[in-house]
Homo-oligomer: A and B are copies of this chain.
Amino acid sequence: MNLQLALDRMSIPEAVAMAERVSPYIDWIEAGTSLIKEFGMAGIHALKTAFPEKVIVADMKTFDNAKYEFELCYQAGADVATVMGAAPPVTVGTCMETAERFGKEVMIDLLHTTEAQRTALLQHRKAIFCLHVGKDEQEYSGGRLQTPGFAGFEGERRIAAAGGITLETLPGLLGIGPSVLIVGSAITGAADPERAARELRRAVDQVKEVKRS
């Protein structure tokens, strides 16, 4: 299981510094949507330059103009880029093709998708499917990650989970067998980010060991 650190609502130097502090405990580093919209491709480039050995995720949340946007972030150094599952199917398909051409990856963000959309998206066998409760849903409507409603994805597809994940909520997510756990403010907003990251790492590694035994 990979631990992905989401960097949002901060400057590029702050993002690089935060990733450096917790680097031993995380696998993937995400340039958050707000980092991208605030500073452009420079954030992705800075993260890939500072961490060439890590997987860099560009949370592009692409909804249109897929080829241009995906080429942009792959060229800036991203290894994975996100597209909204709620986007037109042709947009998601174009993201898959662009990733194939670059030898890179697509994460399909299932935020606010219908069951019909999720079923149709299953055709993209190589994608990572991100179960996601948005920041706004968490902050204003008490939204929590719901694992039901995504039946059929487990096992056959790589799953990521995102949205207010903490050390406390982590155990409830393990049933869906995620490949990627995306954590933002539980690390970046912690009084002691290193400690928060180390504890999450330990929790994730314990799962691996349980699965092996």
Q: Interface on A for B, CB 8 Å cutoff?
A: 8-9, 33-34, 36-42, 60-61, 63-69, 72-73, 84, 86-88, 90-91, 93-94, 111-112, 114, 134-137, 140-141
Supplied contacts A38-B40, A86-B86, 5 more A-B pairs, CB within 8 Å? A8-B65, A33-B69, A84-B86, A88-B137, A94-B140
- B42, B63, B140: the one contacting A40 at CB < 8 Å is B42
CB distance from A89 to the nearest CB of B (A): 9
CB distance from A6 to the nearest CB of B (A): 11
Q: A33-B65, A84-B63 are in contact. Are A136 and B90 (CB under 8 A)?
A: yes
Question: Do B63 and A111 have beta carbons less than 8 Å apart?
Answer: yes
Question: Do B34 and A65 have beta carbons less than 8 Å apart?
Answer: yes
The residue of chain B having its C-beta at the shortest distance from the C-beta of A60 within the complex is: B37
Q: A39-B40, A112-B86 are in contact. Are A66 and B34 (CB under 8 A)?
A: no
The residue of chain B having its C-beta at the shortest distance from the C-beta of A66 within the complex is: B136
Question: Do A72 and B34 have beta carbons less than 8 Å apart?
Answer: yes
Q: List 14 A-B contacts (CB under 8 A).
A: A33-B65, A37-B69, A37-B72, A39-B40, A61-B63, A64-B111, A64-B134, A86-B86, A87-B112, A88-B112, A88-B134, A90-B136, A90-B141, A91-B134
